[in-house]
Structure 1
């Protein structure tokens, strides 16, 4: 059996590894010139962690893990509103989790693929044609390829989804926010945050700054969508949106590169993730919300679920139906939660910021941590389909 996977991100790399282990011939293509090295932090909760464990990569995962001693929510003057120290928030989580940079996780997966699958960077799918017996594609270099299955693992702006399922405006459901992330160095900012994961919120905007070690810092920014034409590039927009937030944020934004990682927050709304011999994994079909941190665990879980379905079912249609049966309930549930949660992740009103930060401060109390643990554990388990 042969598969063509379009997209060498978390979902595509994970799927390529599992299908190769199952005996498939794998062609993995990606339109980027090389590894992207995404500059944002992800919290790999139980579904993703369990997939990594099954791959035998826990030691590699732990080697790239970032230990955050404290999350501090601050006011405009930099004074703390609430603190969540690591023992307190760890008590609310399943121990099978890790906080890593997404680019580092991709590198772990690429290394695991060495000698198994070659990634064809600078190449993507231009044309898709299906018959009852096979799927054919024309690649961007003019090469024609045939396979038993084509998988779109090419992210929220999936080319495969657009070619096979239809235009983005009929499928993507924006949640009204945008995000950006980048790394930088600044000794004064490093001293100011003092090893903490620090969060400053203003109505419709949130800035997170955190240390990566050796003087390297990272920021993750999220804001309510700006409904006006963008003047210049993404860096210009970030200066306009965040420049007046106060504290050290003006200096943080001054380090913004010309082309930071900049994404719309949206989820995908499809009745089915498969059409004939084409299916979707990860954000291409199952995107929930980049604000919640569920996209990466779901990407890995979807790749594993598809592999299991293809292994257990000899008929392709039955296998793809089984894959959807395993994953869809969790995706729909978490899309619903994400729509409601966005207003608390990036509050649009000052009273919401005040309420959230008060809850954060209370969560540091041992008694409340014990109460929260069953809730957080159920949330993690609910997206572990297998």
Structure 2
């Protein structure tokens, strides 16, 4: 095999998934993650379809369902906490043949890392500062680890990819903001608790969600209309933005903002997509959100990370390391599929947090029709369906 060593930047979902499949194909992956350890907390994801199927191939189905949640209802409430509309999740279970679970993104990342601990060199608390390609490979300069050589470098480092910036150019060349920002945090001891119910409270241009976690913890998700201003630089500035936007809200807004006072880990970012004409350049390629972020609101980023990692590794294996050929086929197989997901995510963003009272009314009215037999299936089925056939790469090494 012409290619042996592959450096992967990013320890979220795409990075460890790619390392797993590269090792299964006989490559020698190294994964570097800027954080000093695996991340915890964050937000929950809905996980289904082809991403779930790849997790099954990795032998993760039992663990995913053990750590995950099986949501019974999505419930929209008013200022007084009374149900306005909502829907049961039976339709998701039906459309996915029971292969649908909600779980913490950090939990999925941890399960993936457990799968690569014996096959992948993992470097925490370091990052790539420079990449220099030459005919025989790529020289990489690390912040703490000096210089090393690899055959390929793959950026799996998310929306704000450092590899993309170093190899392709600044983020603003490729980022398409969808006009919203998102924040999330967890706290302990919050009451009330509504097991397996996702509650959502909306006002024009903003939404606040609450989801009950295990171990006496609760997750809060904020989505609100935003301009093109940069993300606030400090934790206190980010908290101040949330207090300003949600300070006059009803329902549990005052209590949730009080809970915000005691936390020191807050996820806060713009809702953006990444649009690129090419996901590779020479010996350097991108996967997952680094290549084509569909946006957090799409709810499919982790599944798409799993899919793209599987196909990228598979094409490198199938091409016996001829990376130019593998990168071309990888894009050919995925680009139309990803473009469809991005268009759907743009539509979903405006429905998630409508900017006007009329928009909220119409959104709630549409959701109310889900109670009519068959309507929810028609409305949701197109978004849940995966119009992509996963290749079978016949990996030489065991995959579970």
Deviation at 1:213, TM superposition (A): 2.7
Secondary structure at the aligned position of 2:40 is classed as coil
- Cα distance in 1 between the residues matched to 2:135 and 2:196: 57
CA contact (8 A) 2:201 2:209 kept: yes
Picking from 350, 357, 363, the partner of 1:350 is 357
Aligned to 1:260: 266
Match of 1:152 in 2: 155
> Which residue is 1:200 aligned to?
201
The answer on whether the counterparts of 2:25 and 2:314 sit within 8 Å (CA) in structure 1 is: no
- Which of 235, 244, 254 aligns to 1:240? It is 244
Distance 1:228 1:17 in 2: 38
Is the CA contact (8 Å cut-off) linking 1:6 and 1:153 kept in structure 2?
yes
Contact 1:135 1:149 in 2 (8 A): yes
Are residues 38 and 153 of structure 1, via their aligned partners in 2, closer, same or farther at CA, if it must alter by over 3 Å? Answer: farther
Query: Post-superposition shift, 1:91?
Result: 3.5
- Flag the 1:305–1:88 CA change in 2: closer, same or farther, 3 A: closer
When structure 1 is superposed on structure 2, of 237-246 and 251-260 the one drifting more is 251-260
Rounded Cα–Cα distance in structure 2 between residues aligned with 1:265 and 1:31: 22
Q: What is the 5 A alignment of 1:106-121?
A: 106-121=109-124
Note the 1:85-96 alignment, pairs <5 A: 85-96=88-99
- Kept in 2, the 8 Å contact 1:93–1:373? The answer is no
Shift in alpha-carbon separation, 1:162–1:324, aligned structure 2, 3 A: same
Q: 2:188 aligns with which of 185, 188, 195?
A: 185
Q: 1:53 aligns with which of 53, 56, 62?
A: 56
**How far did 1:92 drift?**
4.5
**Match runs of 1:195-344 below 5 Å:** 196-226=197-227, 230=232, 232-256=236-260, 257-314=263-320, 315-344=322-351
- For 2:177 and 2:229, the matched residues in 1 are separated by 16
Check 1:187–1:274 CA distance in 2 against 1; reply closer, same or farther (3 A cut).
closer
Offset at residue 273 of structure 1 (A): 0.4
Runs (5+) with no aligned partner, structure 1: none
Comparing 15-24 with 156-165, which one deviates more in the overlay? 15-24
Aligned residue number for residue 130 of structure 1? 133
* DSSP 3-state at the match of 2:218: strand
- Tell me how large the CA RMSD over aligned residues is: 1.9
1:82–1:90 distance in 2 versus 1, CA, 3 Å: farther
Q: Determine the C-alpha separation between the residues in 2 that align with 1:90 and 1:125.
A: 42
* One of 363, 383, 386 as aligned partner of 1:381: 386
User: 1:136-178: CA deviations, max 9, x gaps?
Assistant: 1011114211111100011100000000000111111111111
User: What's the offset of the Cα at 1:364?
Assistant: 2.7
1:44 aligns with 2:47: yes
Provide the secondary structure at the position in 2 that maps to 1:233. Answer: helix
Q: State whether residues 233 and 258 of structure 1, in contact with CA within 8 Å, keep that contact through their aligned partners in structure 2.
A: no
Matched, 1:84 2:90: no
Residue aligned with 2:338, SS: helix
Matched with 2:398 is none
Tell me: CA distance 1:227–1:320, structure 2 relative to 1, closer, same or farther (3 Å): closer
Distance between the aligned counterparts of 1:38 and 1:330, measured in 2? 30
Aligned match of 1:363: 370
Alpha-carbon separation, structure 2, partners of 1:318 and 1:247: 55
How far did residue 206 of structure 1 move? 0.6
Asked whether the equivalents of residues 8 and 119 of structure 1 are also in contact (C-alpha less than 8 Å), the reply is no
Contact 1:89 1:363 survives alignment (8 Å): no
Deviation at 1:281, TM superposition (A): 0.7
* Aligned positions, number: 382
Change (3 A) 1:89 1:115: closer
Among 65, 73, 76, the alignment partner of 2:76 is: 73
Gaps of 5+ in 2: 392-400
Whole-angstrom CA distance in 1 between matches of 2:290 and 2:324: 19
Mark the CA change 1:139 to 1:46 in structure 2 (over 3 Å): closer, same or farther: same
